[in-house]
Amino acid sequence: MSGTQHLVQMANDIGHFFRAEDKREDAVAGIANHIRRFWTPRMREKLIAHIAQHGPNGLDELPREALKTIAEHPIVKLEHPPGGDAG
């Protein structure tokens, strides 16, 4: 499995988790927030560039919308920044 295919699979797995949200927009926001928090900038950029060049092959609708949001608004204040309060 190529690096990009692995990223597609990871994004789809995140999408499956958030699919349980009652509202579609909450699911998309949750996916985008998760990807912003836990993926490196390089991972996000690689998948966004691949989608722009080759289309969303294999990428489910919800993660596709989340990545579109990230591409359109790459810098946002996260709801829960990484790190937490370690004292």
- One-letter amino acid identity for 57? N
Collapsing DSSP states into helix, strand and coil, what is residue 26?
helix
Query: Over the stretch 27-86, which tens digit does the pLDDT of each residue have?
Result: 999 999 999 999 999 999 999 999 999 898 899 999 999 999 999 987 765 555 555 555
Query: Is 60 exceeded by the pLDDT of residue 3?
Result: yes
Inter-CA distances, 46 with 4, 15, 22, 25, Å: 7, 18, 30, 24
**Beta-carbon-side half-sphere exposure of residue 57 (alpha carbons within 13 Å):** 9
pTM listed for this prediction: 0.82
Domain extents in the chain: 3-72
- Give, for 18, the enclosing helix (H) or strand (E): helix 3-18
Query: Is 90 exceeded by the pLDDT of residue 1?
Result: no
Residue 87 pLDDT grade (very low, low, confident, very high; cuts 50, 70, 90): very low
